[in-house]
Amino acid sequence: MNICVENLSFRYPNGVLALQGVSLEIASGEQVAIIGQNGAGKTTLVKHLNGLLQPTEGRVLIGDWDTRKYSVAKLAQRVGYVFQNPDEQLFTKTVAEEIAFGPRNLGYSKERLQTLVEDALQLTQLQAMRSANPYDLSPTWRKMVAIASILAMDTPILIFDEPTTGQDAASVGRLATIIAELKQRGKTVITITHDIDFCAENFGRVIVMGNGQVLLDGSAKEVLGQEAILAQTFVDPPQITRLGLRLGLTEVVCTPQEFLDVFETQCAA
Amino acid sequence: MPVVRLQQVTYYYPLTETPALQDINLEIEEGEFIAVIGPNGAGKSTLCYTLAGFIPHFYKGELQGTVEVDGRSTQDSNLSDWVLRVGLVFQNPFNQISGAKYTVFEEVAFGLENRGVPRNEMIQRVEEVLEMTGIADLAARSPYSLSGGQQQRVALASILVMQPKVLVLDEPTSQMDPIGTREVFGVIRKMAQKGMTVVMAEHKMEWIAQFADRVIALWEGKIFLEGKPQQVLTDERLAEKGFGVSRYTTTARLALSRGLWQAERPLPVTLEEAVSGFAAIRNGQSKGKP
């Protein structure tokens, strides 16, 4: 299911123009990271994809659905959205109930519901915590509950708003595994992140936003080496990319392995 | 004389049987910048709450040992006096912002109002701190209309304005863009140089290496490692135990096994250290050629 954003502008009621003429297409099954400084319009943009916000100008198509003509509840069949702050979306007494809430409201059969909940518990490694109250879990695991409750909705498109915030190394590793699995399953994943290293290691396509506009849009290698443009939106290239740039490597590198391979070849040359 | 002194501190949250902190002994000098690292659940936030007096006064539970700041212990003080000694910037700004104020300016003034600071002084202090934290342009906005990173700056400003002796920060830049992070670390470093004592729980190793005087690594409620940033952050036991490790360190460790890092050179935590290490390898190899 393709996403098509056409000349989208959005003005908040207080007058702040948060998006100005944004156009982009995201094909079915793409893994896209959106980066950019605080206030660049990242969250405002993705809130248009499930109808939480409606365009001031332009339009957004999710498949053949124009978001202006469909309710948020209806769009939830196509787009799952994991909030930045899990506490804004969790409300039931147990982890398993929380995860079942979304898919149940989409009207799935009992059998499918059960399969989806088990699958989500397993992907997020929450099986042992299924009967716990989400608010008794640490923020790290609460975030996993929020993610699981969206995974279980089995939507073709998933949005993660800063999933790495406040997560430790183990948890960021879990996230990377989930995103890789979603890719395998052909899901579209759109992730807002400030963790540029996480972005470099897990996403094929990177969209850079600044001042409500798209500054760069391309493959991780095309985008992440562009130090000057990234600086406009207060982003540094990933650590490994910066290391490569500083050492004058002729190729943009995104992971330690890539760096060492290119470095070794260029030393020998 | 140390400004913060923890002796044999052990703490249990209510209704729990495993201590969240165990046998913590810690002395911190005035103006020192301490970074606290550890996987989630290691006790970083609990240590922050203990220093800030939220433990035992708000969270209750069982606190053993003594927590002293400036010669007074938390157990013998009440929270409204303690906030003048120790200010805490919460991990999640949503939880810190009062909800009682319509603008960022008023939000930042909230603590001063409650301490009865004269109006003129209050306005001046708020203006200074908004400038310092880079949010002067947001003064008239509602705290709830801001992005996560902007809210974190408001949370920081509303504690800095109180001018506490000890500033405790629980992952204060987790939702900030990299340049915001750099600015905030810069502000905090400046406060430390002016004599404010800083304790910061943080995951961002590269920043810690550049700004902190000392690193404390917590693991299952205990101090697992303690020392200079370079020494602690490159300790090979960190990765095994689920601590975050700088990509520069990871890359150099990998390079070492491929003969691309000099064995006698310490592993890097920062970009500069990595650049000079790899440059040395390249120069060495080109010299070695016929």
Residues A118 and A12 both lie in one domain: no
> Lowest-confidence range among A33-37, A38-42, A158-162?
A38-42
Residues B175 and B274 both lie in one domain: no
**Residue A85 in domain:** no
In this complex, do B176 and A38 lie within 8 Å of one another by their Cβ atoms? yes
With cut-offs at 50, 70 and 90, classify the pLDDT of residue B288.
Answer: very low
How far is B222 from B220, CA to CA, in rounded Å? 6
**Residue A83 in domain:** no
The partner residue sitting opposite B39, judged by closest CB among A12, A168, A256, is: A168
Residues B251 and B238 both lie in one domain: no
**Residue A214 in domain:** yes
Q: Residue B145: its chain A contacts at CB < 8 A?
A: 12, 14
Distance of CA B250 to the CA centre of its chain: 23
With cut-offs at 50, 70 and 90, classify the pLDDT of residue B247.
Answer: very high
The partner residue sitting opposite B279, judged by closest CB among A85, A233, A247, is: A247
> Lowest-confidence range among A11-15, A95-99, A175-179?
A11-15
Task: Please say whether the beta carbons of B150 and B173 come within 8 A.
Answer: no
Residues B250 and B215 both lie in one domain: no
In this complex, do A39 and B171 lie within 8 Å of one another by their Cβ atoms? no
Q: State pLDDT tens for residues B105-125.
A: 999 999 999 999 999 999 999
Residues A32 and A1 both lie in one domain: yes
* Beta pairing class for B214-219 and B197-201: unpaired
User: What is the reported pLDDT for A60?
Assistant: 98
pLDDT above 50 for A56: yes
With cut-offs at 50, 70 and 90, classify the pLDDT of residue B165.
Answer: very high
Mutate to test the interface with B, among A168, A195, A245, A246 (most CBs of B within 10 A): A168
**Span B225-232, mean pLDDT?**
94
Q: State pLDDT tens for residues A185-198.
A: 999 999 999 889 99
Q: What is the CATH number of the domain that holds A51?
A: 3.40.50.300
Residues B277 and B166 both lie in one domain: no
pLDDT above 80 for A171: yes
| Final residue belonging to a domain, choices B226, B242, B258 | B242
DSSP labels for chain B? --SEEEEEEEEE-TT-SS-SEEEEEEEE-TT-EEEEE--TTSSHHHHHHHHTTHHHHTT-SEEEEEEEETTEEGGGS-HHHHHHHEEEE-SSHHHHS-SS-SSHHHHHHHHHHHTT--HHHHHHHHHHHHHHTT-GGGTTS-GGGS-HHHHHHHHHHHHHTT--SEEEEESTTTTS-HHHHHHHHHHHHHHHHTT-EEEEE---HHHHHHH-SEEEEEETTEEEEEE-HHHHHT-THHHHTT----HHHHHHHHHHHTT-S-TTSPPP-SHHHHHHHHHHHHHHHHHH--
Average pLDDT, rounded, for chain A: 93
Interface A-B: count of C-beta contacts within 8 A: 126
Sorted by sequence, the CB contacts under 8 Å of residue B157 that are 6+ apart come out as B104, B108, B129, B130, B132, B133, B135
In this complex, do A140 and B150 lie within 8 Å of one another by their Cβ atoms? no
| Final residue belonging to a domain, choices A153, A181, A201 | A153
With cut-offs at 50, 70 and 90, classify the pLDDT of residue B204.
Answer: confident
pLDDT above 50 for B213: yes
With cut-offs at 50, 70 and 90, classify the pLDDT of residue B290.
Answer: very low
| Final residue belonging to a domain, choices A133, A153, A173 | A153
Q: What is the CATH number of the domain that holds B63?
A: 3.40.50.300
User: What is the reported pLDDT for B254?
Assistant: 94
Percent of chain B's residues with pLDDT above 70: 98
**Residue A67 in domain:** yes
pLDDT above 50 for A242: yes
User: What is the reported pLDDT for B289?
Assistant: 43
What backbone phi and psi angles, to 5 degrees, belong to A247? -90, 5
Residues B130 and B270 both lie in one domain: no
pLDDT above 80 for A248: yes
**Residue A137 in domain:** yes
Q: Residue A166: its chain B contacts at CB < 8 A?
A: 40, 91-92, 171, 174
The partner residue sitting opposite B174, judged by closest CB among A14, A165, A197, is: A165
Closest CA to B261 of A260, A268, A242, A243: A260
Residues A149 and A108 both lie in one domain: yes
| Final residue belonging to a domain, choices A134, A153, A172 | A153
The partner residue sitting opposite B177, judged by closest CB among A87, A197, A235, is: A235
Q: State pLDDT tens for residues A135-148.
A: 888 888 999 999 99
Residues B87 and B157 both lie in one domain: yes
**Residue A203 in domain:** yes
Closest CA to B172 of B54, B3, B44: B44
Residues A105 and A217 both lie in one domain: no
Task: Please say whether the beta carbons of A75 and A151 come within 8 A.
Answer: no
ipTM above 0.85, yes or no: no
In this complex, do B148 and A247 lie within 8 Å of one another by their Cβ atoms? no
Does A17 lie at the interface with B, CB-CB under 8 angstroms? no
Residues B140 and B182 both lie in one domain: yes
**Span B252-280, mean pLDDT?**
94
Residues A205 and A252 both lie in one domain: no
Bridge partners for B36 per DSSP: B201, B216
**Span B244-255, mean pLDDT?**
92
Residues B281 and B197 both lie in one domain: no
Residues A54 and A144 both lie in one domain: no
Is the alpha carbon torsion for A93, A96, A100, A102 positive or negative? positive
User: What is the reported pLDDT for A11?
Assistant: 96
**Span A28-36, mean pLDDT?**
95
The partner residue sitting opposite A242, judged by closest CB among B141, B271, B281, is: B271
**CA contacts within 13 A on the Cβ side of A204:** 10
In this complex, do B178 and A138 lie within 8 Å of one another by their Cβ atoms? no
Residues B118 and B262 both lie in one domain: no
Residues A183 and A245 both lie in one domain: no
Residues A60 and A168 both lie in one domain: yes
User: What is the reported pLDDT for B177?
Assistant: 78
Total domain count, chain A: 3
Residues A148 and A160 both lie in one domain: no
**Span A194-218, mean pLDDT?**
93
Detail the DSSP E strand segments found in chain A.
3-11, 17-26, 31-35, 57-62, 65-66, 79-82, 157-161, 188-192, 205-210, 213-219
**Residue A84 in domain:** no
User: What is the reported pLDDT for A182?
Assistant: 97
Q: Measured between CA atoms, how close is A113 to chain B, in angstroms?
A: 31
Residues A160 and A220 both lie in one domain: yes
pLDDT above 90 for B167: yes
Residues B154 and B254 both lie in one domain: no
pLDDT above 80 for B74: yes
Residues B256 and B234 both lie in one domain: no
**Residue A103 in domain:** yes
What range defines the domain where residue A245 resides? Answer: 238-269
Residues A167 and A64 both lie in one domain: yes
Percent of chain A's residues with pLDDT above 70: 100
In this complex, do B260 and A239 lie within 8 Å of one another by their Cβ atoms? no
User: What is the reported pLDDT for B286?
Assistant: 56
Does A232 lie at the interface with B, CB-CB under 8 angstroms? no
What range defines the domain where residue B258 resides? Answer: 246-290
Q: Measured between CA atoms, how close is B228 to chain A, in angstroms?
A: 21
pLDDT above 70 for B164: yes
Percent of chain B's residues with pLDDT above 90: 71
Q: State pLDDT tens for residues A85-140.
A: 888 778 889 999 999 999 999 999 999 999 999 999 999 999 999 999 998 888 88
Total domain count, chain B: 2
How far is A101 from B201, CA to CA, in rounded Å? 35
